[in-house]
């Protein structure tokens, strides 16, 4: 009798945990979809007004790093309060503004809109594959975290150096590495939600959003280098 009670309690416990994980995943997907709206608005505003065109070289890097890390700090501070979602959406608007400079450059190509749609489709494809893998892979992927962090740090350092060097070959190498690292990060972050390692949907959305933006930006850079057609 006691064993039966314990087994029922365990099954209820597992059911509640699974329900909570599904809720976090569902809320993350909804907020991730919502976060794309301010991103598009920010990118459109940046392209339409040219407000970010002057942010090149070191100045652009300082503005981006200060804004991005400031927002990320604010999101982590507010993730458990009602202010968390508006702060996250403010960050995605800022990221759209920062992306607008590259988008404007790509739109300068004759096939610019096609390249942007291809990069968007490619990013969506990567996300779909990683989301599918995260639901079927049984292995614990938590050990990947430290290696992915080192890879992301190397990409950031390489990107900062290349801002001043201005090497096309360097940009290509960084973009290829970023696609690989942040695609793997996407799988890692999704698996953490599926396994119950991430219980805050705002933090989960921030992590996945950064993965997606980095993959999209890197794909767009490669498409611009290899596929851009001049008039």
Domain count, the chain: 1
- Look at residue 13 in the predicted model and tell me its pLDDT: 52
Per residue in 113-156, pLDDT tens? 999 999 999 999 999 999 999 888 888 888 888 999 999 999 98
Better-predicted residue by pLDDT, 5 or 231:
231
Per residue in 7-40, pLDDT tens? 544 555 556 677 878 888 899 999 999 999 999 9
Q: How many CB atoms lie within 10 A of CB 197?
A: 16
Mean pLDDT of 76-86: 92
- Look at residue 200 in the predicted model and tell me its pLDDT: 92
Please state, in angstroms and rounded to a whole number, the distance separating the CA atoms of residues 94 and 67.
8
- Look at residue 4 in the predicted model and tell me its pLDDT: 54
DSSP H helical ranges for the chain: 2-49, 57-78, 84-107, 112-136, 144-165, 168-194, 201-227
Please state, in angstroms and rounded to a whole number, the distance separating the CA atoms of residues 229 and 231.
7
Reported as a pLDDT band with limits 50, 70 and 90, residue 89 is very high
- Look at residue 59 in the predicted model and tell me its pLDDT: 74
Q: Supply 119's token pair.
A: 């990069």
For residue 218, how many C-alpha atoms fall within 13 Å in the half-sphere facing its CB? 25
Reported as a pLDDT band with limits 50, 70 and 90, residue 184 is very high
Alpha carbon 206 to its chain's center:
7
Task: Return the minimum-mean-pLDDT range out of 104-108, 165-169, 183-187, 226-230.
Answer: 226-230
Q: How many CB atoms lie within 10 A of CB 85?
A: 18
Residue-range definition of the domain harbouring residue 15: 2-227
Using CB atoms within 10 Å of the CB of residue 49, give its burial: 0 to 12 exposed, 13 to 18 middle, 19+ buried.
Answer: exposed
Please state, in angstroms and rounded to a whole number, the distance separating the CA atoms of residues 224 and 99.
14
């Amino acid at each position: 009798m006691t064993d039966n009670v314990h087994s029922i309690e365990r099954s209820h416990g597992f059911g509640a945990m699974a329900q909570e994980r599904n809720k976090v995943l569902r809320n993350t997907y909804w907020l991730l979809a919502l976060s794309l709206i301010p991103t598009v608005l920010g990118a459109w505003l940046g392209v339409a007004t040219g407000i970010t065109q002057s942010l090149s070289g070191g100045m652009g890097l300082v503005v981006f790093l200060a804004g991005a890390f400031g927002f990320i700090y604010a999101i982590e501070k507010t993730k458990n309060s009602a202010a968390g979602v508006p702060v996250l959406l403010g960050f995605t608007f800022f990221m759209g503004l920062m992306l607008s400079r590259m988008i404007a450059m790509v739109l300068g190509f004759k096939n610019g809109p096609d390249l942007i749609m291809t990069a968007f489709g490619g990013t969506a494809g990567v996300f779909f594959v990683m989301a599918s893998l995260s639901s079927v892979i049984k292995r614990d992927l938590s050990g990947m975290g430290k290696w992915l962090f080192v890879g992301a740090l190397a990409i950031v350092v390489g990107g900062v150096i290349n801002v001043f060097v201005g090497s096309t070959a360097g940009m290509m190498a960084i973009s290829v590495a970023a696609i690989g690292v942040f695609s793997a990060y996407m799988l890692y972050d999704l698996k953490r939600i599926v396994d119950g390692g991430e219980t805050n949907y705002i933090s989960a959305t921030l992590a996945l959003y950064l993965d997606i933006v980095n993959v999209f930006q890197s794909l767009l850079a490669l498409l611009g280098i290899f596929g851009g057609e001049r008039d």
